[in-house]
Amino acid sequence: MLGVFFFAVSGSLLAARKRFDIVASLILASLTGLGGGVVRDVIIGAHPPAAFAQPLYFLPPVIAVVLVFFFFNGVTRFRKTLLLSDAGGLGMFCVAGTVKAIDFGVNPLSAALLGVTTAVGGGLLRDVVANVVPSILRQDDIYALPALIGAGLTALLVQFGLFNAVTAVLAALLTITLRALSIKFRWHLPLATPHSQAPGD
Amino acid sequence: MLGVFFFAVSGSLLAARKRFDIVASLILASLTGLGGGVVRDVIIGAHPPAAFAQPLYFLPPVIAVVLVFFFFNGVTRFRKTLLLSDAGGLGMFCVAGTVKAIDFGVNPLSAALLGVTTAVGGGLLRDVVANVVPSILRQDDIYALPALIGAGLTALLVQFGLFNAVTAVLAALLTITLRALSIKFRWHLPLATPHSQAPGD
Amino acid sequence: MLGVFFFAVSGSLLAARKRFDIVASLILASLTGLGGGVVRDVIIGAHPPAAFAQPLYFLPPVIAVVLVFFFFNGVTRFRKTLLLSDAGGLGMFCVAGTVKAIDFGVNPLSAALLGVTTAVGGGLLRDVVANVVPSILRQDDIYALPALIGAGLTALLVQFGLFNAVTAVLAALLTITLRALSIKFRWHLPLATPHSQAPGD
């Protein structure tokens, strides 16, 4: 729920920056907080998805919208807090998403990819719907890779019977730490091609 | 079917405005008319979705494409008619979408949200695919809220055993009326934040 | 697998052109190569979708990303090869997609539409996620129609008990040929409307 909330805040903040109204804010907050899990559940065949099976999941987006409405300036001032909170959501979602996929009989590698989908899918939907280039594609730091590492580690732990509350927290913390370090030290990945772009191509 | 048709016309009109060809027109018309229902059915696990179970559903988009091709100027002249027709689709879809979700065992609150998804999802897909900011986010009037009220009322009616042909029509009419009034009087909702945007943020 | 690869290359090339990094390249390559099939499987209720049931499907996108990283200039020089390869993917996917939908009990007309979805869905997702107007909408030549003809022929062949390895290849070749001819002779379809756009509309 905490992960949903922090993701939802980023959706609502995008609505505020774009001068959308409060219903648009609620739509973007819900998409960001719950979209990744819904996409995972639709792919593995969990009907209805968790967000629709348990309506309490829509409470964090509502709270996020209210907070952004009343405290927008305050929220943006805590930019570092927000980035860290988002990293927290990333860590929790990639572990939980991988485990749920394995529970539904998906093989470990695909389960890890679905864990990443859970973690980054909400932010992707937020940006696609708001018609901006997704931040996951234009990151100046590393975003999806820590989630992939956390999800891959989770799949390995389950595979070798070592997954429990402690190792789950460790996998999430690893993701969060890698993400935080990548923000602090502005880690970059190589571009899709090191060659410069041919003009007019 | 009538709701599908009116939504499809808006998809085809967007294709005309963007100078796309007739196949693109058919793609956007189908997405707008049928996309919301397909998303709902994929979420609740209705396989195949209604649009694919009954191919007749693709007839309204085809008619819309033909009409826009031959009568584009005429169609746009009837801007008010179009807005009202779209409101009609909104009213019918939010009621029917909510009822189908409840039939599939979804709880009332989530069913109402899926009713809204059915009503607004097609237009959202149309705009996302055509790469424009979704009209549901940039509305200068109120669009999603009347659908939410109609869907919520439908869920309550079913919950209390009062849902029948008459109350269904009343719920749809309430949505249509609220939407029509919001167009006429240019009702606004508050922005996601009342604070002005911090520069450079 | 070959079709997945050629589609994946186009996703990775888009990432290179947009100056995205290698993880973004992998995301776009996977979406392009596998997205159409995942959408089809989610619609017909094949859980998990083929791409997640068999992790080998993610190998072609990985190879595409590596190739584009090391040989970007070389890849773009073979523009005609690429267009033809993409046509090959289109032909294979529209036949295979239609057959899988029929196997899941979908009626022939809807199955053909799902075959087209399989063939064009990946490229559509690639463009939507990268925030560009989908090439399927802004084609200066004919793209979706050859897929629709190949998918429709496949559905008819199955319907009349004439579908086998030979006729499957013929249906794919028909699609590829029509697509290749449309590139060579710059075939156009009529616009969504022949009327010029009303100013300010």
pLDDT tens by residue, A103-131: 999 999 999 999 999 999 999 999 999 99
Residues of C in contact with A194 (CB under 8 A): 69, 72
Residue C49 one-letter amino acid: P
Q: Is the pLDDT of residue A200 over 60?
A: no
Say yes or no for a CB contact (<8 Å) between A192 and C38: no
Taking 50 as the pLDDT cut, the residues of chain C under it are 198-201
For B17, nearest residue in chain C (alpha carbons):
C197
Name residue, tokens 């109204």.
A21
Q: Which partners does chain B have (≥3 C-beta pairs < 8 Å)? A: A, C
Q: Does C10 touch chain A (CB under 8 A)?
A: no
CA distance C99 to C119: 13
Q: Which residue of A has its CA nearest to B189?
A: A21
Please give the pLDDT value at position B75: 67
In this prediction, residue B40 carries a pLDDT of: 96
Judging contacts by C-beta atoms under 8 Å, the chain A residues touching residue C73 are: 195, 198
Q: Is A48 in Cβ contact with B189 (below 8 Å)?
A: no
C-alpha distance from B114 to closest chain A C-alpha (Å): 9
Q: Does residue A191 have a pLDDT over 60?
A: yes
Contacts by A76-83 with C-beta closer than 8 Å and gap 24+?
A76/A13, A76/B198, A76/B201, A82/A6, A82/A9, A82/A10, A82/A13, A83/A183
B-chain residues near A22 (CB < 8 A): 189-192
Query: Which residues of chain C does A193 touch, with a Cβ-Cβ cutoff of 8 Å?
Result: 16, 68-69, 72
DSSP B186: T
pLDDT at C73: 73
For chain A, say whether B96 makes contact (Cβ under 8 Å): no
* Residue B132 within any structural domain of the chain: yes
Residue B117 in domain: yes
Number of separate domains in chain C: 1
pLDDT above 90 covers what percent of chain C?
70
> Does A47 contact C at CB distance below 8 Å?
no
C95 min Cα distance to partner chain B (Å)? 18
pLDDT at A34 over 50: yes
pLDDT for res A149:
97
- Would you say residue A201 lies in a domain? no
Does residue B193 fall inside a structural domain?
A: no
**Tokens (6 digits) for B98:** 């909510």
Q: With an 8 Å Cβ cutoff, is A131 touching chain B?
A: yes
Output phi, psi for B189, to 5 deg.
-105, 160
Q: What is the pLDDT of residue A194?
A: 81
Which tens digits make up the pLDDT trace of C157-180? 999 999 999 999 999 999 999 999
H helices of C78-143, where?
Answer: 79-103, 108-129, 135-138
CB contact under 8 A, C58 and A198: no
Higher pLDDT, A199 or A142: A142
**Chain C within 8 Å of B55 (Cβ-Cβ)?**
yes
Task: Return the residue in B12, B47, B78, B82 with the most chain C beta carbons within 10 A, the one to mutate for interface testing.
Answer: B47
Give the residue carrying structure tokens 């939907």: A125
Task: State which H helix or E strand residue B193 sits in.
Answer: none
Q: Any chain A CB within 8 A of the CB of B55? A: no
Q: What is the pLDDT of residue B198?
A: 46
Range of the domain at B24: 2-184
Q: Is residue B143 part of a domain?
A: yes
> What mean pLDDT, rounded, does chain A reach?
90
Q: Which of A43, A44, A137, A193 is most worth mutating to test chain C (most C CB atoms within 10 A of its CB)?
A: A193
- Residues in chain C with CB shorter than 8 Å from the CB of B16 are 191-193, 195, 197
Per-position pLDDT tens, chain B of length 201 = 788 998 999 899 899 888 899 999 999 999 999 999 999 999 999 999 999 999 899 999 999 999 989 887 766 666 777 788 889 999 999 999 999 999 999 999 999 999 999 999 999 999 999 999 998 998 678 999 999 999 999 999 999 999 999 999 999 999 999 999 998 888 888 888 887 554 444
Using left for φ > 0, alpha for ψ between -120 and 50, and beta otherwise, residue C2 falls in: alpha
Q: How far apart are the first and last CA of chain C?
A: 45
Shortest CA gap A155–chain C (Å): 14
Interface test with A, best of C129, C132, C133 (most A CBs within 10 A): C129
Per-residue pLDDT tens over the stretch A130-141: 999 998 998 678
Smallest Cα distance from A69 to chain B, Å: 4
Q: Is the pLDDT of residue A28 over 90?
A: yes
Closest residue on chain C to A40 (Cα) = C48
Q: Decide if A27 contacts B144 (C-beta within 8 A).
A: yes
